[in-house]
Amino acid sequence: MAEMMRAIVKTTPGRGAELLEVPRPEPGAGDALIRVIATSICGTDHHIYEWNAWAEGRIGPRIPQTMGHEFCGVVEAVGEGVDQIAVGDRVSAETHIVCHTCIPCRRGQYEVCLNTSILGVDRDGCFADYIVVPAENLWKTPPELSDNVASALEPLGNAVHTAMAEPLEGKRVLVTGIGPIGAFSVGVAKAHGATEVFASEPNPYRRSLAGVMGADHLIDPIATSLTGTIMELTGDGVDAVLEMSGHPTAIQDAISCVIPGGHIAQLGLPPDRVTLDLNELIFKGIRYYGIVGRKIWETWEEMDRLLAAGELDISPVLTHTLELEAFEEGIRLMEAGECGKVVLTVS
Ligand code: NAD
Ligand code: ZN
């Protein structure tokens, strides 16, 4: 009989998830079995938990399925043909499993692979004692990083990828939306030499996180006009916007706040179609980047460099650590907006 393990499983098409005993997976050829140490909760996990229309369409056909994708752990066993990683290595994982055969993959643009399969979305995830991952997706984590920090490298990679759309050195940078990824972005923009960082966020708890991460100006876009405030503070606008909210108002504000010739990097995902003043974007000559996932592996290399060099410390954003069993308390904190990143301790 297979050994059993704990897992948080999406079992029914509706709000919720269950902590269950399920069989421990076995690594196939090219795979590694990881004993999960810590895992952090993403907005995507929240969407799966609450079961919105996206979750219904993407995950509905596959339930029951184990949730979670952000983690660090230790390699427990490897399948046939795995030699780049060894039992005992502490690892995190690139959560996008790519095909290597489509045209974007052949061009090295793995982040836009046409056949991407995502951990915890398209297959079983890491809210469990063990997870099986293709060994090629694993990234050895520098020993100086804490387990909590190592568990949050994947979302940090979203921030680093967005910040790397263009060099930020010497630039005035606006970050809109200070969820965990926006908060990471404030630190990354500073580490990349931004001269001034402006953070826009309606939630006071999260706004203050931006301050802790080094933002020079904290702006409440509900209480004041964001564009008016930015123009007052800069005279002519910011050089770059990292859009991390997906909120339609923030996206239009990004266009209005950026100086002609500047750029916007859009990571935030709007829940629906958005109406924008594209003439403003065109006549200001703005470069607008859509950012998805992480560059494999350039983003990971830059993350390691920033963290190992001590140029970036993301630990203030990891505001809560709970046991795996207390997963629903983590969801509650996220829904109340009373947290940065919530980390679950597994082993
Ligand atoms: P989050 O939901 O925790 O944070 C979003 C923040 O935006 C919240 O704190 C919210 O209060 C704030 N906000 C709402 N309206 C705003 C406004 N008008 N102006 C400024 N801020 C506003 O999300 P997160 O986990 O930090 O992720 C950030 C965004 O990136 C989300 O939209 C998420 O869906 C998206 N995302 C995209 C990718 C990708 O590959 N493109 C990957 C991960 C996450
Ligand atoms: Zn591909």
Q: What is the pLDDT of residues 249-306, one digit of tens each?
A: 999 999 999 999 999 999 999 999 999 999 999 999 999 999 999 999 999 999 999 9
pLDDT at 188 (0 to 100): 98
Q: Is 193 left (phi over 0), alpha (psi -120 to 50) or beta?
A: left
Closest by CA to 71, choosing from 135, 133, 10, 122, is: 133
**Atom of ligand 1 at shortest range from CA of 270:** 32
pTM for this prediction = 0.98
Q: If you average pLDDT over every residue of the chain, what do you get?
A: 98
265: Cβ contacts below 8 Å, ≥ 6 apart: 162, 163, 165, 166, 240, 241, 242, 243, 289, 291
For range 32-41, the mean pLDDT: 98
pLDDT at 198 (0 to 100): 99
Q: Clarify whether residues 147 and 242 are in a common domain.
A: no
Residue at 41 is within a domain: yes
CA 169 to chain centre: 23
Q: Clarify whether residues 135 and 165 are in a common domain.
A: no
Pairwise CA distance, residues 249 & 268, whole Å: 12
**Atom of ligand 1 at shortest range from CA of 266:** 41
31-40 and 342-345 strand pairing: antiparallel
Q: Clarify whether residues 147 and 183 are in a common domain.
A: no
Question: What's the domain count of the chain?
Answer: 2
Packing angle, helices 226-234 and 248-257, rounded to 10: 20
Q: Take atom 22 of ligand 1 and give the residue whose Cα is closest.
A: 177
For ligand 1, pick from 267, 331, 339 the residue to mutate: most ligand atoms within 8 Å of CB.
267
Q: Clarify whether residues 139 and 61 are in a common domain.
A: yes
Q: Could you tell me the CATH number of the domain that includes residue 177?
A: 3.40.50.720
Q: Clarify whether residues 178 and 139 are in a common domain.
A: no
Write out the two tokens for 113: 């692979």
Q: Clarify whether residues 15 and 112 are in a common domain.
A: yes
Q: Take atom 36 of ligand 1 and give the residue whose Cα is closest.
A: 268
Residue at 176 is within a domain: yes
Question: Does residue 164 contact residue 199 with C-beta atoms inside 8 Å?
Answer: no
Q: Is the dihedral of CA 264, 100, 119, 13 positive or negative?
A: positive
pLDDT over 90 (residue 55):
yes
pLDDT over 90 (residue 27):
yes
For range 171-176, the mean pLDDT: 99
Write out the two tokens for 11: 């079992």
Residue at 296 is within a domain: no
* pLDDT tens-place string over residues 301-330: 999 999 999 999 999 999 999 999 999 999
Could you tell me what percent of the chain has a pLDDT over 70?
Answer: 100
Bridge partners, 173 (sequence order): 197, 240
Confidence of residue 2 (pLDDT cuts 50, 70, 90): confident
Q: Active site includes 47?
A: yes
Residue at 313 is within a domain: no
Q: Clarify whether residues 189 and 77 are in a common domain.
A: no
pLDDT at 38 (0 to 100): 98
For range 133-155, the mean pLDDT: 97
Q: Clarify whether residues 143 and 173 are in a common domain.
A: no
The domain in which residue 249 lies consists of 159-290
Q: Clarify whether residues 8 and 117 are in a common domain.
A: yes
16: Cβ contacts below 8 Å, ≥ 6 apart: 49, 51
Residue at 309 is within a domain: no
Q: Clarify whether residues 52 and 147 are in a common domain.
A: yes
Could you tell me what percent of the chain has a pLDDT over 90?
Answer: 99
Q: Clarify whether residues 337 and 251 are in a common domain.
A: no
Residue at 264 is within a domain: yes
Q: Which residues lie with the beta carbon below 6 Å from any ligand 1 atom? A: 43, 158, 176-182, 200-203, 206, 221, 244-247, 249-250, 267-269, 291-293
Confidence of residue 189 (pLDDT cuts 50, 70, 90): very high
* pLDDT tens-place string over residues 60-69: 999 999 999 9
Which run of H or of E encompasses 229? helix 226-234
pLDDT over 80 (residue 1):
no
Residue at 107 is within a domain: yes
Cis peptide before 51 (omega within 30 of 0): no
Question: Does residue 7 contact residue 20 with C-beta atoms inside 8 Å?
Answer: yes
E strand intervals along 184-341: 196-200, 217-219, 238-243, 258-266, 287-290, 320-323
Question: Does residue 346 contact residue 67 with C-beta atoms inside 8 Å?
Answer: no
Q: Could you tell me the CATH number of the domain that includes residue 132?
A: 3.90.180.10
Residue at 302 is within a domain: no
Q: Clarify whether residues 86 and 22 are in a common domain.
A: yes
Alpha helices per DSSP H over 168-225 = 180-191, 204-212
CA of 140: how far to CAs of 78, 137, 181, in Å?
15, 10, 22
For range 181-197, the mean pLDDT: 98
For range 194-202, the mean pLDDT: 98
pLDDT at 174 (0 to 100): 99
* pLDDT tens-place string over residues 209-218: 999 999 999 9
* DSSP, res 214: T
pLDDT over 90 (residue 219):
yes
**Atom of ligand 1 at shortest range from CA of 182:** 26
